């Protein structure tokens, strides 16, 4: 347990900053304003702690679940070199989850509790991993364009206020940049290949684009957490600003390959300097992040099976401490 890390579910201070000591709160906010990092043993408002746990935990779940769609292609990768590279990438993603669960643990929530919340459907994870990787080209699009989205998000937030999260993000970004190059190489190979390969990569891009637009979160006007997260420098860019930066960096690269994005309205308004686009279907986004996407049930079933099958190992190493609170079916 770290510093004042005990989490009381009935503690109303976790919902607002009311009830916090005003002097401690002012000192905390001054440190954040000065660009200092907050460390686990430091005083922090309960709302800051709860928001960080929510966000880092969701991020960790996204990495471990995110290993699954690409993971299905390891046995079917086209050639030995692609297989080796994909295996290494998938292994990296699981390692990212490990780093992030450790960062979240410093805030007082145990890893067992986080995993239980994932496999019981209580916690969220990134929308994008609830879609299937139907062809090899889907895995290429994930590695290029979803890892690219992750880098936009993580590079910004690695400059944030909570030390353990920022340090984990920095390390993750080094590996993600390599994933991005691997993904780009795969997409270029397909886009400059046979007509069949080109068609495959175009179809994959068309399938993934709406989910990629969702990836950065709902528009700022309806985002619930952005205001408080940005005030305390957990989030360093708003959802819409991340989406804009991403479009700026990657749409020209996609068009350079002669690929078509499935949005006839997508263009940069030269006067405002902003990208204009058709809003993706936010009702679908809500359904998918709340458990009703094409692969949610399958993804959680795989994680549940992994927890169940690994149980004896945890028992052997940790004894009673390995007991999870949720009984498996
Ligand atoms: N997916 O108030 P908002 C990877 C939820 S893995 C699902 O804007 P916030 C990779 C949000 O949680 C890296 N849910 O939220 C791995 C909230 O619901 P709750 C993935 C989403 O937190 C393997 C509600 O919508 N990256 O790259 O201010 C292979 C309202 O949203 C999403 C991360 O996890 C979403 N996309 O901002 C390849 C980054 N968006 O909690 C690649 C870490 C929103 O109130 N997370 N929601 O029930 C973040 O940076 C922020 O949480 C977000 C959303 C920008 C995603």
Provide the pLDDT for residue 324: 57
Q: What are 187-206's pLDDT values in tens digits?
A: 999 999 999 999 999 999 99
The Cα 118–Cα 113 span in angstroms is 9
Q: State the pLDDT confidence band at 18, using cuts at 50, 70 and 90.
A: confident
The Cα 260–Cα 184 span in angstroms is 16
The Cα 51–Cα 17 span in angstroms is 12
* Triad 62, 169, 13: Cα angle to 5°: 75
Q: Which of 48, 217, 293 to mutate to test the pocket of ligand 1 (most atoms within 8 A of CB)?
A: 217
The Cα 72–Cα 134 span in angstroms is 10
* Ligand 1 atom showing the smallest separation from residue 62 Cα: 6
296 C-beta closer than 6 A to ligand 1? no
Q: What are 51-89's pLDDT values in tens digits?
A: 999 999 999 999 999 999 999 999 999 999 999 999 999
* Ligand 1 atom showing the smallest separation from residue 157 Cα: 50
HEC profile for 200-235?
HHHHHHHHHHHHHHHHCCCCCCCCCCHHHHHHCCCC
Q: Which two tokens stand for residue 245?
A: 């930066």
The Cα 292–Cα 127 span in angstroms is 10
Contact between 77 and 136 (Cβ < 8 Å)? yes
118 C-beta closer than 6 A to ligand 1? no
Nearest CA to ligand 1 atom 50: 153
* Ligand 1 atom showing the smallest separation from residue 58 Cα: 34
Nearest CA to ligand 1 atom 52: 55
As a whole-number percent, the residues of the chain with pLDDT over 90 amount to: 89
Domains in the chain (CATH in brackets) are 22-318 (1.20.1260.10)
245 C-beta closer than 6 A to ligand 1? no
139 C-beta closer than 6 A to ligand 1? no
Provide the pLDDT for residue 114: 96
Q: What are 93-139's pLDDT values in tens digits?
A: 999 999 999 999 999 999 989 999 999 999 999 999 999 999 999 99
Q: Which of 126, 173, 215, 236 to mutate to test the pocket of ligand 1 (most atoms within 8 A of CB)?
A: 126
For the cut 90, the answer to whether the pLDDT of residue 323 exceeds it is no
For the cut 80, the answer to whether the pLDDT of residue 37 exceeds it is yes
51 C-beta closer than 6 A to ligand 1? no
**Centre of ligand 1 from the C-alpha of residue 97, in Å:** 14
The Cα 35–Cα 161 span in angstroms is 7
287 C-beta closer than 6 A to ligand 1? no
Sequence-ordered alpha helix ranges (H) in the chain: 22-33, 46-71, 80-105, 111-119, 136-141, 147-157, 163-191, 195-215, 226-231, 239-256, 282-289, 296-309, 311-318
41 Cβ contact list (under 8 Å, min separation 6): 2, 3
Nearest CA to ligand 1 atom 1: 126
3-state secondary structure of 267: strand
Provide the pLDDT for residue 319: 84
Mean pLDDT of 42-57: 97
60 C-beta closer than 6 A to ligand 1? no
**Centre of ligand 1 from the C-alpha of residue 215, in Å:** 7
């Amino acid at each position: 347990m770290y510093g004042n890390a005990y989490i009381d579910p009935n503690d109303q201070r976790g919902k607002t900053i009311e009830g916090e000591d005003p002097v401690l709160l002012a000192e905390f906010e001054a440190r954040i304003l000065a660009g200092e990092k907050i460390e686990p043993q430091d005083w922090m408002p309960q709302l800051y702690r709860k928001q960080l746990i929510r966000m880092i935990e969701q991020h960790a779940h996204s990495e471990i679940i995110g290993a699954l769609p690409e993971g299905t292609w390891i046995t079917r990768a086209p050639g030995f070199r692609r297989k080796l590279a994909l295996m290494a990438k998938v292994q990296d993603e699981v390692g990212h989850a490990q780093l992030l669960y450790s960062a979240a643990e410093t805030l007082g929530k145990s890893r067992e509790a986080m995993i239980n919340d994932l496999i019981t459907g209580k916690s969220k994870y990134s929308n994008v991993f609830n879609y299937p990787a139907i062809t090899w080209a889907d895995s290429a699009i994930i590695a290029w364009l979803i890892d690219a989205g992750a880098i936009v998000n993580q590079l910004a937030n690695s400059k944030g206020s909570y030390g353990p999260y920022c340090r984990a993000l920095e390390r993750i970004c080094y590996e993600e940049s390599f994933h991005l190059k691997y993904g780009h190489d795969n997409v270029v190979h397909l886009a400059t290949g046979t007509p069949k390969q080109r068609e495959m990569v175009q179809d994959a891009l068309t399938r993934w684009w709406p989910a990629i637009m969702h990836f950065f979160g709902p528009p700022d006007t309806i985002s619930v957490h952005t205001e408080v997260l940005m005030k305390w420098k957990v989030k360093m860019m708003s959802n819409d600003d991340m989406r804009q930066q991403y479009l700026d960096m990657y749409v020209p690269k996609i068009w350079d390959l002669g690929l078509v994005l499935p949005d006839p309205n997508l263009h940069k308004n030269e006067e405002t300097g902003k990208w204009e686009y058709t809003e993706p279907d936010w009702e679908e986004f809500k359904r998918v992040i709340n458990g009703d996407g094409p692969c949610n049930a399958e993804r959680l079933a795989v994680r549940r099976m992994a927890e169940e099958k690994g149980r004896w190992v945890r028992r052997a190493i940790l004894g009673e401490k390995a007991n999870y609170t949720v009984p498996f079916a």
